[in-house]
Amino acid sequence: MKIVRTIGGLRAEPRDGSVGLVPTMGAFHEGHLALFRAARAENDLVVASLFVNPAQFGANEDLARYPRDEERDARVAEQAGVDILFTPEPSELYPPGFQTWVEVEELGSRLEGEHRPGHFRGVATICLKLFNIVRPDRAYFGQKDAQQVAVVKRMVRDLDHEVQIRVVPTVRDADGLALSSRNAYLSPAERELALTLPRALATKDAAQARARLNGLDMDYVEVADFEPRVLAAAVRVGKTRLIDNVVLDKEKA
């Protein structure tokens, strides 16, 4: 596996056949591995990006303490069959004078967007930049971030990009908690409390889920009309904000 840190370096890589891109922020777990494997199965060249995108973090969020371990991530990605790990510095992607943003207006402003203003502007912009830099045939995203999938698909359609968006089902721990890099923040007691989230969503009913989550700090628990429809929730456990969702239209899952 090759580690590439610049846009020029990435563009200079030889490309033969189809290219799959997996955008990530690192701290790899089995969720990321499922995306790498899906990309490996369908493409000649697999590029993973590892970039903790400052533009998608709010001022009071966890950008500074977001888990970072490039050495371990590089080992894990290589073992999963990634060919190129693209891991640029923020200044490579946001040079001085940067001022062009992608705003997915309606889809990006509710649910997560309402509670994390500017989040999806950061997500859409970095995804479009990565699509333009890597020029993948297919890009891989997790259903865990259902609204992110909806926003990225809408952007691709609205801006006439040719990349195909592939969605991989949410990978969970044996106890049901959806894998997330942010689970590393949880103490054992908080992790126990966090299990309420998948259990509440398993009811597949917003009112029942809210009742089960009673006592936790809920940002939202709502049915979202994405494709497929989901029951989505964001809760805070201690200082950690967790999101999860379950697919409601089983036949389309």
Q: Looking only at residues 140 through 159 of this chain, which bind ligand AMP when binding is defined by CB under 6 A? A: 141-142, 144-145
The one catalytic residue in 32, 115, 119, 161 is 32
CA dist 244 and 221 (Å) reads 10
- Annotated catalytic, 32? yes
Query: Do 216 and 241 meet the contact criterion of CB atoms below 8 Å apart?
Result: no
Is residue 179 close enough to count as binding ligand AMP by CB under 6 A?
yes
- In the complex with ligand AMP, the residue whose CB is nearer, 150 or 200, is 150
Which of 171, 177, 233, 235 contacts ligand AMP by CB under 6 A? 171
Residue range at the interface with ligand AMP (CB under 6 A); choices 23-31, 80-88, 102-110, 111-119: 23-31
Taking CB positions, which residue lies at the least distance from ligand AMP?
142
Which of 4, 19, 34, 213 contacts ligand AMP by CB under 6 A? 34
- In the complex with ligand AMP, the residue whose CB is nearer, 30 or 192, is 30
Gyration radius of the chain's alpha carbons? 18
Please, is 9 exposed, middle or buried when counting C-beta atoms within 10 Å of its C-beta (0-12, 13-18, 19+)? middle
Is residue 25 close enough to count as binding ligand AMP by CB under 6 A?
yes
Is residue 39 close enough to count as binding ligand AMP by CB under 6 A?
no
SS3 at position 195: coil
Number of Cβ atoms within 10 Å of the Cβ of 135 = 16
Q: To 10 degrees, what angle do helices 119-134 and 146-158 make?
A: 60
Is residue 24 close enough to count as binding ligand AMP by CB under 6 A?
yes
Sheet of 164-168, strands arranged across:
2-4, 84-86, 45-50, 19-24, 138-142, 164-168
Q: How far is the CB of 245 from ligand AMP (least distance, A)?
A: 11
Number of Cβ atoms within 10 Å of the Cβ of 47 = 27
Is residue 131 close enough to count as binding ligand AMP by CB under 6 A?
no
Place of tokens 């000649």: 44
Is residue 241 close enough to count as binding ligand AMP by CB under 6 A?
no
Q: How far is CA 19 from the centre of its chain?
A: 19
Q: How far is the CB of 50 from ligand AMP (least distance, A)?
A: 8
Residues written for the chain: 253
Is residue 35 close enough to count as binding ligand AMP by CB under 6 A?
yes
Which residues are at the interface with ligand AMP (CB under 6 A)? 24-25, 31-32, 34-35, 141-142, 144-145, 168, 170-171, 178-181
Q: Which residues are catalytic?
A: 32
